[in-house]
Amino acid sequence: MCKDTETIIYTDEQGRTFARECTCKKINDSKRRLQRTALANKADKYTLETYKNNEEWQKNILARAKEYVTNFNGDWLYIGGQPGAGKTHICTGIIQALSFKYNLSYDYILFNKKMTELKQSKFDDKESYKENIQRLIDVDILFIDDLYKIEPTKADIDILFDIINERYLNSKTCIFSSEKIAKEIIVFDEAIASRIFEKCGNYVIGIAKDINKNYRLKQ
């Protein structure tokens, strides 16, 4: 519609000319943000279509992912378990599919790295901190990758709770990947875990620990 300008020029009944953002801008802004993250060189490869599903457990995960996208109603999604089993891949595929299908904005954060950045800016640049937090609260879909990869500090928990709670209250979707299966995250903070469980409903996926499922070791 906009011929890749991200702006549509139109004229009203009185002959006045106006400009408005094209619907593609929200998706493109999300893609640009993704290109500035750890997924910069992988986003185009991490789609639902390219997810390996040779094994039965992979077929089940892909089916759940497609079901989630098809029946999307704002529910959250949590996938945890075996490292190297394609959790980041499937979640990235989901957020890109949702963005395209429903014209939703999204953002991606690698948990430990982002918490470190936020903790530093909280003391060094409060305005930047507020802007970063607000964007993570406002975006339509937030993908938190490698949740609790390293045991979180109290400061990590405080920041994460602020983000999760605001998104919980405002019905903003979160998607999580973690090496921890769902019941293991309760020990870090029950308030955060309970909100995640409630919002995920039926979309809590666990991958049993099995080194044979680590595809990084097979490359």
pLDDT value of position 218: 66
pLDDT value of position 88: 94
Whole-number Å distance between alpha carbons of 185 and 153 = 14
Domain range for residue 115? 26-218
Output the six-digit token pair for 101: 């299908």
120: CATH: 3.40.50.300
pLDDT tens-digit series, residues 13-70: 777 887 877 777 777 777 777 777 677 777 789 999 999 899 999 999 999 999 999 9
Residue 19 located in a structural domain: no
pLDDT value of position 20: 79
Residue 15 located in a structural domain: no
Whole-number Å distance between alpha carbons of 188 and 78 = 16
For the segment 132-160, the average pLDDT, to the nearest whole number, is 95
pLDDT band at 173 (very low <50, low <70, confident <90, very high): very high
Whole-number Å distance between alpha carbons of 55 and 43 = 23
CA 110 centroid distance within chain? 10
For the segment 193-199, the average pLDDT, to the nearest whole number, is 96
Residue 204 located in a structural domain: yes
Cβ partners under 8 Å of residue 202, min gap 6 = 75
Number of domains within the chain: 1
pLDDT value of position 26: 72
Q: Which of 71-85, 118-132, 190-204 has the lowest mean pLDDT?
A: 118-132
Q: What percent of the chain has pLDDT over 70?
A: 97
For the segment 77-81, the average pLDDT, to the nearest whole number, is 97
pLDDT value of position 164: 97
Kindly report the average pLDDT of the chain as a whole number: 90
Residue 2 located in a structural domain: no
Output the six-digit token pair for 105: 């904005």
Phi, then psi, of 82 in degrees rounded to 5: -45, 125
Cβ atoms 197, 182 nearer than 8 A: yes
Q: Is residue 219 over pLDDT 60? A: no
E strands, 22-135, are: 77-81, 106-110
Cβ atoms 169, 142 nearer than 8 A: no
Angle at which helix 190-200 crosses helix 154-169, to 10 degrees, equals: 30
Q: Is residue 12 over pLDDT 80? A: no
Residue 18 located in a structural domain: no
